A and B are shown apart, each in its own frame.
Chain A
Amino acid sequence: MFARLVYESFRRQKRRKLLAGAAITLGVTVATAMIAVATDIGDKINRELRTIGANILVTPQEDTLDVEIGGVNLKPPSDGAFLNEADLPKIKGTFWHNNITGFAPMLPVTVTLQRDGKSENLTLLGTYFAKSVSFGKEEFKTGVRITHPWWKVSGSWPDDGSRDVLLGERLAAKLSAKPGDEVALSGRTLRVSGILSTGSVEDDQVVAPIALAQEILGKPGAVRRVYVSALTKPEDALARRDPKSMSGPIYDRWYCSPYPQSIAFQLQEAIPHSHAEQIRQVAQNEGAVLTRIEGLIFLVTLAALFASALAVSAAMATAIFERRAEVGLMKALGAGRFAVASIFFAEAMLLALVGGFVGFAAGGLLARQIGRSIFNSEIAISPVLFPVILAIAVIVTFAGSAAAIRNAVRLDPVFALRGEL
């Protein structure tokens, strides 16, 4: 009898059930999409923040002081220590290798430019553009095109295996050189594949594949410094502590959190004779920006959850209120309060489950769409959330119906049947 009542109620009142179900579905859709966006926004914004540049710098441990003004190195180029290029792929072997989006080694050397019979000293910066590097079975591309996305080239980027170079835009203007021209540097004739614009000191320099710089310096495999771009977690009190003073479990927690400090520490472990440090301008501020944006989206998600809970409650309350006459009839036929309430709750439960299921699927699609159109990457909803969302849908539907059901079962059947309140 109970099952038949519920079944018939769905069969005969398709329009009303559809309306209430639609409200629940919409509410769950919005809630699911917002939760998915909120859980993923940190990672997405973190990746966007990487466009500001590398946040960790690796230098040789016993390096002498940099004597550099405006990108011009004033100390003898062979002075000081170097890192070994062969050690660099180990960066991808660290614990947080998935958080490292890219790295670019740099080797500045001084070259002489012959022009109009005069010779002029210039800086040639050797680096990776988009070099394929392999570590173990893993193959990945890395270089300045990933770590320094604000570098713009008119013409084409040189190939990492070639002997082509980029000229900084101010230097190119001085030499009135175009892509495709040739320049004579330190007795070598090199082809200019493009003109580089960075808005910084590189505009006065020549940028070349690192092998060329190593050849000019006469030190194969030498690297002066490595810029590493890593996805990090905003710094907190634990991050700032000195790892040497930590006890076992706290050290493990520090080591296994992607703080700029702990990633730098691991890079130092991976690359022999190196010193890795966060570039504070980038690392410190991105933590602050990230915290603000995550906080904002979290609060907005709360607002979305509240609004969808309210919408579901309103729809349920209206749906039940419209069925007072039915309640009156049931009661006149001798149904108890409990029997009436349980029918309504069973209906609400059914609606919530169906609405929750459809809403979860729709919300996942919506989140994907938001991810694609705003961030050009997917926002995936974790299936772990499914039971949580379903439970929330059922609870909210029950809570929304409770007041209306209580009013309905309290009604005097006589008034209800006469249509009076």
Chain B
Amino acid sequence: MNAGGLHPMERHSARGVAAGRAQSPHTSMFVRMLVRAAVLRRGRAVSALFAMVVAAAVATAMLNLYIDVQAKLRREFRNYGANIILAGRDGASLPADALSHVESVVAGRGLVAPFGLLVARTSDGQPIVVAGTDFERVRQIDRWWSVSQWPSAPQQALVGVRAVSVVSPRNQPFDLSFQGHTIHLTSAGTVQTGAAEDSRVYLSLPDFVLWTGVQPSTIEVAATGSPEEIAAIMHQLQEAIPVAEVRPVRQIMEGEARVLGKTRATLLAAAALIILTAALCVLSTLMGWVFDRRRDFAIMKALGASDRLLNSFFAAEAAALGATGAVIGFVLGIGIAAWIGRVNFHAPVVPRFGVLPLVLAGSILVTLLSAILPISLLRRVQPAVILRGE
């Protein structure tokens, strides 16, 4: 970063401060002093700017992460599967058009999978729970299912690992019967979940309905969004299908809320600490720089500059530095946040431009503070004393 790059920004900001003194012949002198100050003492100006850029970048990255972590973690939590369950009252079937209604309500805000459950008998008369579902949807919503091979053709079944020995111990085709109707199935693969699914046989929904004439009784919904958005979806679902009972999966919702809350709180504490440290870094660098230029200050004062002019000169300089640092730091910070998102969440963190005014205001505030503090100290000192180097 050289002083040439600062040029337009400084001039722009200086104009802003000097606006009240528009048309005044002092304007060009004011701008020239600002620019020359940065050019002549390039080393220290660059190190002050560097501190500012780093602080703004870190602040931007932390704020971006803080805002985005919720969305990122919610996505992780959707891998826990459904957070809303629609079921027919007392185990009754849902209307045939229920699934399409649910789809239109959810519409891109989550995943949906229908399930029909009943007890059938194997050829030797053993009872077994048979479920009809849409395998494509289940693959999306219940990602933890460990499946050896998903069924791909009609009359293929997915057999739970514990049910294998009952229905098809040698992987042979098998028959299941329900109220006098029999279906002939082949086993495509096994499913293991460690829960109730292990003792069931899963069929595709068309096979299930054709065989039993029973419509699905449960629809699982994995809705994305904040608790309020999910409550709204539940409300809309209840209105769309009044005969169904809509209930949240509380263990998932509560666990998610807790973990999200704690993670955000930790991140906020970390962000506060980091931003505080970065701000102090800027403060000490900048105060040193301004203190270092007490000779310039003394000469200006000796030549008759008013206190107001001196204040506005140093304030303009600080504001220009703060604004430049904030903008460069913002771009850098967005990059850092995106990188962290890619490395950790395998999805970039979306840039939040709403953070920019915050970072800009914070940066200018810190730079103004670090300019005003030494100036107010120096103002009390006679220029002659400073110039003599005491």
Residues of A within 8 A of B (CB): 19, 23, 26-27, 30, 33-34, 37, 41, 44-45, 48-49, 51-53, 57, 63, 65-70, 74-75, 148-150, 198-200, 277-285, 288-289, 292-293, 295-297, 299-301, 303-304, 306-308, 310-311, 314-315, 317-318, 321-322, 325, 366, 370, 373-375, 418-419
**B187 to nearest A CB, angstroms?**
15
B281 with A310: CB separation less than 8 A: yes
Q: Does B238 contact A (CB under 8 A)?
A: no
Complex CA gap A340/B266 in Å reads 45
Q: Does B258 contact A (CB under 8 A)?
A: yes
Q: Which of B256-300 contact A (CB under 8 A)?
A: 258-259, 262-263, 265-267, 269-271, 273-274, 276-278, 280-281, 284-285, 287-288, 291-292, 295
Given the known interface contacts A74-B119, A280-B144, the answer about A51 and B254 at a Cβ–Cβ threshold of 8 Å is yes
Q: Does B382 contact A (CB under 8 A)?
A: no
Which A residues touch B199, using CB under 8 A?
Answer: 65-67
Closest A residue, CB atoms, query B122: A65
Complex CA gap A52/B63 in Å reads 29
Which A residues touch B316, using CB under 8 A?
Answer: none
**B221 to nearest A CB, angstroms?**
14
**28 A-B pairs with C-beta separation under 8 A:** A23-B281, A34-B270, A51-B255, A65-B128, A70-B117, A74-B127, A148-B251, A199-B247, A280-B146, A281-B142, A285-B76, A288-B79, A292-B72, A292-B76, A292-B344, A296-B344, A296-B345, A297-B266, A300-B270, A303-B61, A304-B277, A310-B51, A311-B284, A315-B281, A315-B284, A318-B287, A321-B288, A325-B389
Given the known interface contacts A49-B259, A65-B163, A280-B145, the answer about A75 and B340 at a Cβ–Cβ threshold of 8 Å is no
Complex CA gap A67/B129 in Å reads 6
Q: Does B29 contact A (CB under 8 A)?
A: no
A-binding segment of B8-16, B17-25, B150-158, B189-197 = B189-197
Which B residues touch A19, using CB under 8 A?
Answer: 284
Q: Does B208 contact A (CB under 8 A)?
A: no
Option from B195, B248, B278, B343 in Cβ contact (under 8 Å) with A281: B195
Task: Please name the 7 residue pairs, one residue from A and one from B, whose CB atoms are nearest each other, closest first.
Answer: A318-B288, A52-B255, A199-B250, A311-B281, A280-B144, A295-B344, A65-B199
Option from A37, A198, A307 in Cβ contact (under 8 Å) with B266: A37
Majority-rule SS of B interface residues: helix
Majority-rule SS of A interface residues: helix
B249 with A199: CB separation less than 8 A: yes
B274 with A307: CB separation less than 8 A: yes
B343 with A370: CB separation less than 8 A: no
Q: Does B45 contact A (CB under 8 A)?
A: no
Q: Does B58 contact A (CB under 8 A)?
A: yes
B284 with A296: CB separation less than 8 A: no
Q: Does B86 contact A (CB under 8 A)?
A: no
A48 with B255: CB separation less than 8 A: yes
Q: Does B219 contact A (CB under 8 A)?
A: no
**B283 to nearest A CB, angstroms?**
9
Which A residues touch B192, using CB under 8 A?
Answer: 280
Which B residues touch A366, using CB under 8 A?
Answer: 273
B262 with A292: CB separation less than 8 A: no
Q: Does B166 contact A (CB under 8 A)?
A: yes
Which A residues touch B117, using CB under 8 A?
Answer: 69-70
Q: Does B67 contact A (CB under 8 A)?
A: no
A310 with B129: CB separation less than 8 A: no
Interface size on B, residues (CB 8 A): 76
Residues of B within 8 A of A (CB): 47, 51, 54-55, 58, 61-62, 65, 69, 72-73, 76-77, 79-81, 87, 91, 117-119, 126-129, 142, 144-146, 162-163, 166, 192-196, 199, 247-252, 254-255, 258-259, 262-263, 265-267, 269-271, 273-274, 276-278, 280-281, 284-285, 287-288, 291-292, 295, 336, 340, 343-345, 389
Option from A45, A150, A198, A301 in Cβ contact (under 8 Å) with B262: A45
| A149, A283, A299, A314, most chain B CB atoms within 10 A | A314
Which A residues touch B250, using CB under 8 A?
Answer: 150, 198-200
| A19, A45, A65, A66, most chain B CB atoms within 10 A | A65
Closest B residue, CB atoms, query A321: B288
Complex CA gap A29/B330 in Å reads 26
Which A residues touch B288, using CB under 8 A?
Answer: 317-318, 321-322
Complex CA gap A236/B345 in Å reads 17
Option from A23, A41, A67 in Cβ contact (under 8 Å) with B119: A67
A295 with B343: CB separation less than 8 A: yes
Which B residues touch A44, using CB under 8 A?
Answer: 262
Closest A residue, CB atoms, query B75: A292
Closest A residue, CB atoms, query B161: A277
**B42 to nearest A CB, angstroms?**
11
Which A residues touch B195, using CB under 8 A?
Answer: 57, 279-281
Given the known interface contacts A48-B262, A65-B199, the answer about A419 and B62 at a Cβ–Cβ threshold of 8 Å is no
Option from B273, B276, B295, B345 in Cβ contact (under 8 Å) with A419: B295
